Amino acid sequence: MKRTFKIVSAVLAFIIICCLIAPAGASSAGNAAIKITSPYEGVDFSAVQAYKTALHTHTNASDGDPTLKESIERHAETGFDIVATTDHGTVNYSWETENADALIHGVLSAVGKSEGALEYLGAEGKFNNGTSYKMQKNGDDDFLVLENGRKIMRVPFGIEQNAVSANAHVNSWFTDYHNNMLTSYNDAISNVDRLGGVCVINHPGEYSKARYEIHSEDAYNPDEFSYRYHINKWASLIDKYDACIGIDVNSKGDDRTRFDRILWDRLLTRFAPNGKNVFAICSSDAHQLDKINTGFIYALMPELNSGSLKAALQKGHFFPASHCIGNYDELCEISEALNKYYPGEAVTASVDKTVAEMKKRIDDIDSGKTDADARIGITYSVLDDKGYYTGETEPMITEVTVDNGTVALATENALIVRWISEGKTIAVQKADEAVFSIKENAEKAGSYIRAEVFGEGGVVYTQPFIISGTSAGDKPDIVDKGFFDFGILDCLIGIFENWGDIISRALS
């Protein structure tokens, strides 16, 4: 009897213990199911270098002001390691000798968009600042070698596609393709994909007309037909063609692209639950010398060659970066964090000043003191009027670690990190404490997180980290059922929508 009692007691104790630990066990099991897919998987940060890369620049071979020689000189002065010359409808074959497209250059010259003589580098020479250089070939790659031995690599076959189109600019690299007829996004992207190149959708806010919005909540609102149409259009292209890695989210001072991070998040809320990613770049889209150093990427590469760059772009092994931020709401969040963690600092005062100027401009537009179609036109910038960096420190991400349900960033010259998911800022931390735990924030983190690292010198973005296991539910359609692509005619959608909003605001 005693033995039976002991057995029953042991069984009951076992059941009680199991009941007591079951909730923790269930939670642990749930957390164990969480998976983070990092775009930086496979990057050995101790073995790679972050190469400062310009992916979008112009010369007077199309509608830029500087000659190619002047452009490359300024890129050299501002620390670039890699440069893509991407003139409209003009495949770049060389920096040594002229390769302007006769049609594009001829037409733009006739209408005054291209002025002055074309000037290339030759086999060797000297820049206006007195620096000597020579061109060097290594395999299939061309390098500018400065007198101090520093090298700058030319990206092969750089071009801004769809030169004649009003609404479909696409940058591509690594493949010799162009079509200077009236062409669409699909025309350019499908052919770049077929030929094995890499491309990105340029400054989407230009063509969705989001650049004319005043408030963030109005930009890329999916309840509006025009925005939903453009979200679907770009989602369909990115989903269909591997060559199209994503979109430009911050270019040329961030005036027209200041809402394009919202578009990035709109796209990610469709792609990420399906286990797919959308990468973003920053660029200068420099038509003038003072714009050259505005936006760029840091390409994480083991060695400096075009094959490594192509692989880095395809895998997301890069950090977009900009010296400029033009989004009011982002700067308000940054201002709040700086005043919390770094009160009284010069950078805090600088951001606060920009926020105040933006607020006044917005209030003037809302009150009717300024024309309803006026853009904000104010950015946080650390460039002087010639485009040179005026600070001493530029923020940088030096390592990304994904381990046990957390994403950790090691940074230099950074102040704060903002973590974004599903289009919302879900955490703000000091840069030296940049660790985000998915397990501890499962209710906040959706199907992805991404980080924006701010320092005195501007902003650096991570590519998104895809998360699975935090929430249940059906996977959303990447492209709405029944979506119809209007092709080259869709420029009219944004134009009519924009003018309708302008008239509406003017009458209100």
Query: How large is the average pLDDT for residues 204-211?
Result: 93
The whole-number pLDDT of residue 488 equals 82
The answer on pLDDT for 15 being more than 50 is no
> pLDDT class for 167, splitting at 50, 70, 90?
confident
Alpha carbon distances (Å) from 294 to 80, 155, 284, 352: 12, 19, 5, 21
Neighbours of 500 (CB within 10 A): 12
Instruction: Supply the pLDDT for residue 178.
Output: 96
pLDDT of 473 reads 59
**pLDDT value, residue 376:** 87
Range with the poorest average pLDDT among 8-22, 81-95, 406-420: 8-22
pLDDT, one tens digit per residue, over 326-345 is 999 999 999 999 999 999 99
Mean per-residue pLDDT, 220-244:
97
* Stretch 184-202: mean pLDDT: 97
User: Contact 162/185 with Cβ under 8 angstroms?
Assistant: yes
Torsion of CA 20, 24, 26, 32, to 10 degrees: -160
**Which pLDDT score, from 0 to 100, does residue 321 have?**
98
Q: Are 167 and 52 in contact (CB under 8 A)?
A: no
Q: Are 210 and 204 in contact (CB under 8 A)?
A: yes
For 295-308, what is the mean pLDDT? 98
Predicted local distance difference test score (pLDDT) of residue 21: 41
CB 347 within 8 A of CB 456: yes
Structural domain boundaries in the chain: 49-327+478-507
- The residue ranking higher by pLDDT, 15 or 478, is 478
Arithmetic mean of pLDDT over the chain: 90
Question: What integer pLDDT is reported at residue 4 of this predicted model?
Answer: 40
Encoded tokens for 490: 């869709």
Give the CA distances from residue 93 to residues 101, 412, 447, in Å, rounded to whole numbers and listed in that order: 11, 36, 41
Which two three-digit tokens encode residue 207? Answer: 């063509």
Helices (H) and strands (E) in the chain, counts: 11, 24
Q: What is the pLDDT of residue 3?
A: 39
Given the DSSP bridges, would you call strands 244-251 and 198-201 parallel, antiparallel or unpaired?
parallel
> Given this structure, which CATH class describes domain 49-327+478-507?
alpha beta
Let me know the angle formed at the C-alpha of 309 by 308 and 311, rounded to the nearest 5 degrees. Answer: 65
Nearest to 172 by CA among 107, 296, 89, 81: 89
- Residue 496: pLDDT above 90? no
- Predicted confidence band of residue 166 (pLDDT cuts 50, 70, 90): confident
Residue 372: pLDDT band (50, 70, 90) is confident
Nearest to 433 by CA among 406, 463, 394: 406
pLDDT score of 417: 98
Q: In which band, very low, low, confident or very high, does the pLDDT at 495 lie, cut at 50, 70 and 90?
A: low
**pTM for the model:** 0.90
The fraction of the chain above a pLDDT of 70, given in percent, is 90
- Tell me how crowded residue 67 is: count the other CB atoms within 10 A of its CB: 18
